[in-house]
Chains A and B, each alone.
Chain A
Amino acid sequence: MSVVRKWLRVLHRDIGYVATGLTVIYAISGVAVNHVDEWNPNYIIEKTQTPIIPLDDSIFIAEKTADYVISQVGEKGKVKSYFRPDPETFQIFLEGNTISVDLKEWVVSQEKVKSRSLIRETNFLHLNAPKKIWTYIADIFAAALAFLAISGLFMIKGKNGIKGRGAWLTIAGFIIPVIFLILYYY
């Protein structure tokens, strides 16, 4: 084994070990955000509607109406704030729950939000939300992936190496994105 190939193997192996965690994180998040039009990759949102008995009061008082609505739907969370987007709607914000009251029909819509554990954290990192030093870690990771890909080409000699079967498979790997660029981009 040549010295170059020996070092390629050593570096490929050790960088590969380090890259495992990040590769899995990026893979999970990649699938999650790839389907952003079909599902929410960060939150589980549960929406419900409940008709309630109208509050018999001619004067609207936010605190009183909020207390009444919350008791009617059986919620117990602390009220963070209120908002009236229009004269017929009253919104009450609780922790993880937005209650919207149709003051004309007295129908209460609730939107309960829960974080998608693990997937949200992977998205946070994958989409570089932290910025700061993480930007450079992600850059190093990208360079490491490029190294793993290129070094991988030269690790095996013979008919299964880059001069044989490996060449055809590598060409196939380039052709796939080119086909889709021709189909969708040009």
Chain B
Amino acid sequence: MKSVIYILLSCLLLNISLLADDAKKFGKEITLKEKTSISKILANPKNFVGKKVLVEGTIVDVCSKRGCWMEIASDKEFQKIKIKVKDGEIVFPMESKGKSALVEGEVYEIKLTKEEAIEFGKHEAEEKGTKFDPGTIKGPVTLYQIKGFGALIK
């Protein structure tokens, strides 16, 4: 009986240590050495679609319900890029906001019709608890995001 209790306690301690670690490392190992500035990606996003990149920046927003995305600030003012991960595969904690992230992932594009863009905007505003004016969408929209594979949050 003592050994059973010992195994159970070991499992508990293991989990506590995993929690305490608060996973500075998320997902897969980072393999790229050279960083690409977010401003460079956003200046010419089409050139980066399908390419693996390593980006760095301050985390300015995190999905509050599932931790399935985060936004990181660009090196240029008023710019940011969304890092999207598969639901449940990586969970970014909300405490990460304001911290610095190094992220490896693949740039991809989302093409939306005007109607889809309005729906997308509404959904995003609802998720963030912000206001959205459908009038700001004048036509089809193309979004560029990074599919995150691995991240290091400091």
Contacts and interface: CB of A to CB of B under 8 A. Distances in A.
A186 to B, nearest CB: 25
A127 B94 contact: no
Contacts of B98: 80-81, 93-94, 98
A47 B128 CA distance: 12
Interface string A105-144: 0000000010100000100110111101110010000000
A84 B88 contact: no
Given A93-B98, A98-B97, A43 B64 contact: yes
B94 A84 contact: no
Interface residues of A, number: 35
A173 interface: no
A40 B63 CA distance: 11
Contacts of B4: 18
A86 interface: yes
Interface residues of B, number: 27
B66 interface: yes
Contact of B60 (A91, A113, A125): A91
A154 B8 CA distance: 29
Nearest to A36: B65
B65 A87 contact: no
Given A85-B78, A121-B19, A132-B18, A93 B66 contact: no
Interface of B: 4, 8, 11, 14-15, 18-19, 23, 58, 60, 64-67, 73, 77-78, 80, 88, 91, 94-95, 97-100, 129
The 7 closest A-B pairs by CB, nearest first: A93-B98, A80-B98, A130-B18, A83-B60, A81-B58, A81-B98, A129-B91
